[in-house]
Structure 1
Amino acid sequence: MRLNTWGGVPVKQARKKDFANAIRSASVCALLSVAWLVPAAEAVAQEYRFNSVVINGNERIGDSAILSRAGIRRGSVVSGGQLNDAYQNLQNSGLFESVAIEPRGGTLVITVTELPTLNRVRFEGNARIKDDNLQGVITSTERQVFNPAKAEADAAAIVEAYANDGRIAARVQPRIIRRSQNRVDLIFEIFEGDNVEIERLSFSGNRVYSDRRLRRVLGTKQAGLFRRLVRRDTFVESRVDADKQMLRDFYLSRGYVDMRTTAVNGELTEERDGFFVSYNIIEGQQFSFGEVNVVSELPNVDADAYRKIIKVRSGKVYSPTVVEADIARLERQAIRDGVDFMRVEPRIERNDRDLTLNVTYVLSRGPRVFVERIDIEGNTTTLDRVIRREFDSVEGDPFNPREIRQAAERIRALGFFEVAEVNAREGSSGEQVVVDVDVEEKPTGSLNFGGTFSNNDGFGVVISFAENNFLGRGQRLGLSLSTASDAKRYGIKFTEPRLLGRDLAFGIELDYAETDSQYFSYDTNDFVFRPSLTFPVSENGRLQLRYTAEEIETVAREVPVHGLTAAGDIAAGAQLSSSIGYEYTYDTRRTGLDPTSGVLFQFSQDFAGLGGDSKFIRTTAKVVGEKKIFNEEVTLRATLEGGALAWSEGTNRIVDRFILTPSIIRGFEPGGIGPRDVSGTANDPLGGNLYVAARFEAEFPLGLPEEYGITGGVFYDVGNLWDLSDVNYNGGTVVGESGSFRHVIGLSVFWQTPVGPLQFNVSKALKSETFDKEQSFEVTLRTEF
């Protein structure tokens, strides 16, 4: 790495040359001075007295500043060693390119060549990392003295920044251009090189879980089909420690307490454009919970009362996450009981014979330490209160290390920060603790453009904007615009997740849609206004209270081919429904005791009649269960859902009733099953007041390379839609009112792509009605339950 200077001589070489010349000059002068002083050596012991000091070559730096740095005063007695120290002080000051000190009788002559001033710092050849980001990496700044050593260090720092971005082949050459008035431009010429991708992630020592399963745990991924779009397939050495911890957490949550990673080996390919990374691990044995007990060392705390709170049961697979959850429950109960400074210590007793761990929760008195203050730094956009509200503790509260750790996890889970570190240190006294929060912001908004295509109506445009940290207040704002041929939709959603600083989410939704679907013989205009409040009611349960005002208009098309029932709905015009409702959700996927399974339950009701044109009660329920088997290689999923619509007043229209789509039962078009009006040429689906559906599916690997992101599945769906009570047929001929169960089997292909998980379904109806509309193939953007 060379620094070109004026005259074509590299700066580094020029500096060494001048340094050598200065040393030779100083040595000659010193020898002449010593020879001149030999006759009097015994008397003066090589001491000098200078009546005057002459300084040459300085332009920016004054004489007094140079003398001060040299440590020499006029008229003082100076030894030979002090002269050498003066030379070293000036040479190491970082202000001079060369220094020479020459005694001339009673005069000391100091000759310096000042380093130039940095006029401008530029970057050339960089595309992957922008100038603003590189400016934060280097220390050389404009209008300061140019330092070759600092420029070399800056070049190394830029190379390291590219290495962290997965480009270890990057090279940086700093060069300078001479300007007038002893000024230079510093230019970093950057050759970025290509990404060094991870061609293969492998594991050795794993007997229980396959390489395929362990790869899904790591944050680093293998290079796949979309390597140009996915950046996690690049090799970043600093990410190895995080991946090792992810592996450790994965095994611990499944009872393998002795698991450890003994080595991580990275081998560069011959072409130097890829890495083979191998993790050497020891899994150990799986442990389960043995005896679980609670013991109190506090005189006024009854252990039996706290023993009823814990959720851990003997025989279950051991997980430290479950133990932490129990400790949090016990400490929260202590706060409710007014027991301050109670600490819960889990004492683990290991039984290698039966592979169990006995857990005893010891309730004891902790130190009387209080939170003095919470200091927050690094947040340039996010307001302090957004971070502070994630703490259960405030200034003056008893200090609980576990609460601080949980607050740190909640801050990281916000998704607002690239880095979030929370640490505690001693405050103004031994009984005070200061909590330091250091964060680094990251982008939280997204603007998406998309397109749609229809053979009949051409192209459509989809634009959406989402901001998860609106104005730094932690609020979520979403805007959407869709001009697709079959559904024009315009919407806005706003959510305040912590209303009044509490765990209370306020949301408001405005949505307007114009549908022109090929599956129906009419169009609709739908406007929805829905504010809501959502709050927790238990550890896994949340309740939403909402109000909904919805106006739907059924619109006739230019060519009236609709059936007679639809004609009655069109004649009714726009209808307004005004309802209040609630939705209860119970979800164990994140806080459940078993990481290989989860349950989601939802139950909702809406009561319409607070004004408007309709009066009804709409009830829906859904339960989903998921289980991973065969060492988590195969995922089983079962879903059962249903709905009921009880109509009292107003016009019960098609758009008000339940319509089954492929997301509810596969193998049929939207509205493909259920009652139909066959009186006209349109053959309109009429929906129903009651429906029930069950879906059973399994997902498994296909044996393809994992980097393709392709897995397979099979499914079996069954469902029924029926009941047209309180419906005016308007003279139409209706079939299928009593309903019947349809049965469908099929195959699925799941493909993880940068645009989202795609699902391809090929299905066959085992049982259907003659008037049903089947759909044997579909492509959907897969949704996770």
Structure 2
Amino acid sequence: MGARSGGRIGYRPILTFLSGTALAAVTAAAIHAQSFRFSSFDVQGNQRIETATILSTLGVTPGEVVSAGALNDGIQRLQASGLFESVEVVPQGNQLLVLVEEYPTISRISIEGNRRVDDEVLNQIIRSQVRRVYDPRQAEQDAANLAQAYAQEGRLAATVVPKIIRRSDNRVDLIFEVAEGQVSEVERISFVGNRAFSDRRLRRVLETKQAGIFRTFIGSDTFVADRVAFDSQLLRDFYLSRGYIDFELLSATPELSPSRDAYFLTFRVQEGQQFRFNNVTVTSDLPEIDIDAYQRQIRIDDGDVYSPQAVERQIQRLELLATRDGLSFIRATPRVTRNDADLSLDIEFVIERGERVFVERIDIEGNATTLDRVIRRQFETVEGDPFNPREIRAAAERIRALGYFTQAEVTAREGTDEGRVIVDVDVEEQPTGSLGFGVSYSSDNQASVAFSFAETNFLGRGQTLNFAVDTGSQASASNITFVEPAFLDRDLAFSVSAFYNETSRDGRNFDSKDIGFRTGLGFPVGEYSRLNVFYSLTETELERNEDPFDVNDDGIVDPGEGIDPVSAILLRDAGDPTLTSSVGYSFVYNTIGTGLDPTRGIRLTFGQEFAGLGGDEKFVKTTLGVDAQRTVRNDEVVLRASLDVGALVSLDDTVSVRGNRFINNTGLIRGFASGGIGPRDPFAPDDPLGGNYFASARFEAQFPLGFIPEEYGISGALWLDAGSVWGLDDVDGGADGDDGIGLVDDDFFLNSAVGFSILWDTQIGPLRFDFSEAIDKRDFDETQSFDLTIQTRF
């Protein structure tokens, strides 16, 4: 660029005068002590900057005395303004000559050499602007910021050099030349000092992954320095939640390979011993506290593995009880007594009165799209309420859990008066909408294509809008759903959805269509439980997909020459479309992933649907499901068990139709095709009839495959499924060809199958390969020895 150095004062007249004296030398201090008085000014070289602006910044006024030091300070101010490439002042008697050279203006900004990162992303980082004065310091800072952006992408060797091309009229083009370099991947993650958990298990905790065969498609194996700090915290949380209270992360050391394209990341840990809860009590000196009532709120059992989350939840439970009793400023403070002899912890929750501090107001910043009320409703505290630091932290976690923000910081500061605090919420929004296009394949449903749109923060109101279309060779489904999570400004989720489903399977004589809508309300009824109530209106049509057929006066089906036989039961179902109008409810209790013990949990669901509020169908459908999960062998193996039962009871002498009966179409029992178990007409065995009752039990053990590196995301599973679909209101199936009327066998029969699965959790979609073998089955049951499910989204 060739810019000159900072401005200077020309001292030639002064030096000429001094040369005639007896002085041999003049010190800088002597020169600095000189003063001037100028009656006129001559400013040269300025094209855009007004002369008056330059003289004002210089700080000189006609007729006033100015020292050489003050004049030098004025030069520095001109230089610091960022408007001039060079500044020079030359005193000429009573006139001051000011010579300036302006920085050029930027006519164009471009980025060259970038292929991995789009211009749109990089342009948001650049602070230099077109039609503004070119500032070399800002250009250098922009180049450094661009290089840092590449470093965040794992390209530590990337360099960015700012260059200018001179144009006419004192204009320049600003060019950022990028050399992207290679991605620095995490080649290996290792641990030193771990005994309780294997390297494989600990790697699953970290956000950073080792480079694997999908390194071209994923970014989690790219080394990012900030991610190492996050991984360190994840590692601490993992050990603390499993009772290792003395855990220490001694170091997290990334080592760059000589080629600068790979990192070796090593975590040195000191695990300590695992502690368990021993004696958990509640004490208080406050006369209004009923100790027995508070002791009954303890949900921690002796012998449970210690977890900070368990202590935190217990504190919330005790303080909530105090609030319900009308007591303010009550705090539950845990006091821990360590018993090294038996590796246990005694916890004493002391109920005491806290400091009288109130919330003055809640200030929210950074939410350009999300409405304030969406954030405020995450607080159980409002302006004027007693200040509870623990509730503020919990509100911060709820705000982060919304998924609307890349970061959400909640802090408290002193208010305008003593005893008051102001809660500041600073958020940074992120996109909440997504478009999805998927391709899936299974040996049962064949190939299908899916399109979906999802917006979890619709119009910034915290509402959810989903639209999905899934069409395949044998089945298609479409639905649209809207959810308002805070209906009437309460913890009340209002939902409404509409759907259309169509099924046409090869080898079957009947096709089905369902169209309808459903609306409901959901609300919490406990710490881990939720109740949902709904109303549903569905029109179901079962229609013949072949040529017409006849039914004689005796009710015997005569398919005609060359036409496959059909069941009279389905024939009666396949009349005019049936309308089902129903109300119902479902209760869900779930501690999987949210309970006190991260290694285990259960999910209980119970629901009932009552049809007959108008429409054609009158029945009561009841379902119950229990799922349990826990990890063993230091979290290496995941054990899962599920039990599901259901019953459909027709009312007022009505007969159930297939559209409302249970059928094996949602993985009820693996190893059998959709509709592959349950009653069938022996005269027309191609079509499943479904049943009024079902029961299934599924057991699975998922484990790592030791011979495959865990970064590939491949694990195995062994499973055993057993179940049955049975019971019909109408067992008159039609002609059996020999004896006239045939009856359908709708008795209970326990089908079962065993299998082995390979689960591949790839970044381009989950893959599951199921290999199965039926153990108990009937001749007409349809088995499925292999099933491949692929889901790809991009």
Common fold: TM-score over 0.5: yes
Q: Does the 8 Å CA contact 2:585/2:607 hold for their aligned counterparts?
A: yes
The alignment-based identity, stated in percent, is: 50
Gap regions ≥5 residues in structure 2: 548-562, 737-741
SS across alignment from 1:595: coil
Q: Does 1:773 align with 2:757?
A: no
| Mapped partners of 1:334, 1:399: distance in 2 | 14
| Mapped partners of 1:289, 1:710: distance in 2 | 36
Q: Does the 8 Å CA contact 1:498/1:504 hold for their aligned counterparts?
A: yes
Q: Does 1:86 align with 2:70?
A: no
Q: Which residue is 1:690 aligned to?
A: 693
The C-alpha deviation readout for 1:178-219, integer Å capped at 9, x for no partner, is 233222222222233343222222211111111111111112
Distance 1:175 1:693, change over 3 A: same
Q: Does the 8 Å CA contact 1:618/1:644 hold for their aligned counterparts?
A: yes
Corresponding letter in the other structure for 2:711? E
| Mapped partners of 2:96, 2:285: distance in 1 | 80
Shift of 1:565: 2.9
Q: Which residue is 2:193 aligned to?
A: 205
Shift of 1:735: 5.1
Task: Map residues 212-251 of structure 1 onto 2, 5 A cutoff.
Answer: 212-251=200-239
Shift of 1:80: 3.6
Q: Which residue is 2:511 aligned to?
A: 523
| Mapped partners of 2:51, 2:666: distance in 1 | 86
Q: Which residue is 2:36 aligned to?
A: 48
Mean Cα deviation higher: 290-299 or 764-773: 290-299
Distance 1:455 1:278, change over 3 A: closer
From 352, 356, 359, give the equivalent of 1:364: 352
Shift of 1:456: 13
Q: Does the 8 Å CA contact 1:519/1:670 hold for their aligned counterparts?
A: no
Distance 1:702 1:461, change over 3 A: closer
Distance 1:28 1:322, change over 3 A: farther
SS across alignment from 1:677: coil
Shift of 1:239: 1.4
Q: Does the 8 Å CA contact 2:10/2:91 hold for their aligned counterparts?
A: no
Q: Which residue is 1:679 aligned to?
A: 683
Q: Which residue is 2:614 aligned to?
A: 611
Q: Does the 8 Å CA contact 1:563/1:678 hold for their aligned counterparts?
A: no
The C-alpha deviation readout for 1:677-712, integer Å capped at 9, x for no partner, is 1213x5322221122111111111111011111111
Q: Does the 8 Å CA contact 1:34/1:46 hold for their aligned counterparts?
A: no
| Mapped partners of 2:411, 2:252: distance in 1 | 29
Shift of 1:585: 0.7
Q: Does 1:472 align with 2:476?
A: no
| Mapped partners of 1:531, 1:399: distance in 2 | 38
Q: Does the 8 Å CA contact 2:683/2:733 hold for their aligned counterparts?
A: no
Q: Does the 8 Å CA contact 1:522/1:562 hold for their aligned counterparts?
A: no
Corresponding letter in the other structure for 2:670? R
Q: Which residue is 1:718 aligned to?
A: 722
| Mapped partners of 1:99, 1:44: distance in 2 | 19
Corresponding letter in the other structure for 1:407? A
Distance 1:38 1:124, change over 3 A: farther
Task: Map residues 248-287 of structure 1 onto 2, 5 A cutoff.
Answer: 248-287=236-275
| Mapped partners of 2:666, 2:395: distance in 1 | 41
Distance 1:545 1:37, change over 3 A: farther
Shift of 1:779: 1.7
Shift of 1:761: 1.1
Corresponding letter in the other structure for 1:517? R
Shift of 1:43: 13
Q: Which residue is 1:699 aligned to?
A: 702
Distance 1:744 1:418, change over 3 A: same
Q: Which residue is 2:19 aligned to?
A: 35
| Mapped partners of 1:595, 1:481: distance in 2 | 36
The C-alpha deviation readout for 1:605-636, integer Å capped at 9, x for no partner, is 11111111111111111111111000010111
SS across alignment from 1:685: coil
From 562, 576, 583, give the equivalent of 2:586: 583
From 726, 748, 752, give the equivalent of 1:739: 748
| Mapped partners of 1:43, 1:460: distance in 2 | 88
Q: Which residue is 1:292 aligned to?
A: 280
Q: Does 1:596 align with 2:599?
A: yes
Q: Which residue is 2:551 aligned to?
A: none
Q: Does the 8 Å CA contact 1:624/1:639 hold for their aligned counterparts?
A: yes
Q: Does the 8 Å CA contact 2:38/2:64 hold for their aligned counterparts?
A: yes
SS across alignment from 1:405: helix
Gap regions ≥5 residues in structure 1: 1-10
Distance 1:239 1:30, change over 3 A: farther
From 568, 571, 586, give the equivalent of 1:568: 571
SS across alignment from 2:225: coil
Task: Map residues 514-553 of structure 1 onto 2, 5 A cutoff.
Answer: 514-518=502-506, 520-553=508-541
Q: Which residue is 2:553 aligned to?
A: none
| Mapped partners of 1:36, 1:679: distance in 2 | 132
| Mapped partners of 1:277, 1:99: distance in 2 | 52
Q: Does the 8 Å CA contact 1:226/1:754 hold for their aligned counterparts?
A: yes
Mean Cα deviation higher: 399-408 or 25-34: 25-34
Q: Which residue is 2:338 aligned to?
A: 350
Corresponding letter in the other structure for 2:677? I
Shift of 1:731: 4.4
| Mapped partners of 2:644, 2:451: distance in 1 | 32
| Mapped partners of 1:443, 1:70: distance in 2 | 49
The C-alpha deviation readout for 1:109-167, integer Å capped at 9, x for no partner, is 22111111223333333344444443442332233321111110110011112212222
Distance 1:587 1:458, change over 3 A: closer
From 747, 751, 759, give the equivalent of 1:750: 759
Q: Does the 8 Å CA contact 1:672/1:685 hold for their aligned counterparts?
A: yes
Mean Cα deviation higher: 445-454 or 584-593: 445-454
Distance 1:179 1:734, change over 3 A: farther
Quote the RMSD (CA, aligned, Å).
2.6
Distance 1:43 1:115, change over 3 A: closer
From 78, 82, 106, give the equivalent of 1:118: 106
SS across alignment from 1:88: helix
From 469, 485, 488, give the equivalent of 1:497: 485
Q: Which residue is 1:167 aligned to?
A: 155
| Mapped partners of 1:396, 1:593: distance in 2 | 32
Shift of 1:31: 4.3
SS across alignment from 1:363: strand
| Mapped partners of 2:786, 2:206: distance in 1 | 34
The C-alpha deviation readout for 1:323-367, integer Å capped at 9, x for no partner, is 110111111111111111112221222222322222221222222
Q: Does the 8 Å CA contact 1:482/1:490 hold for their aligned counterparts?
A: yes
Mean Cα deviation higher: 699-708 or 722-731: 722-731
| Mapped partners of 1:43, 1:242: distance in 2 | 59
Shift of 1:546: 0.9
Shift of 1:428: 1.4
Distance 1:126 1:436, change over 3 A: farther
Q: Does 1:186 align with 2:174?
A: yes
| Mapped partners of 1:52, 1:568: distance in 2 | 110
Q: Does the 8 Å CA contact 2:32/2:67 hold for their aligned counterparts?
A: no
- Between the two proteins, the alignment pairs up a number of residues equal to 766
Mean Cα deviation higher: 567-576 or 157-166: 567-576
From 427, 434, 437, give the equivalent of 1:449: 437
| Mapped partners of 2:518, 2:17: distance in 1 | 94
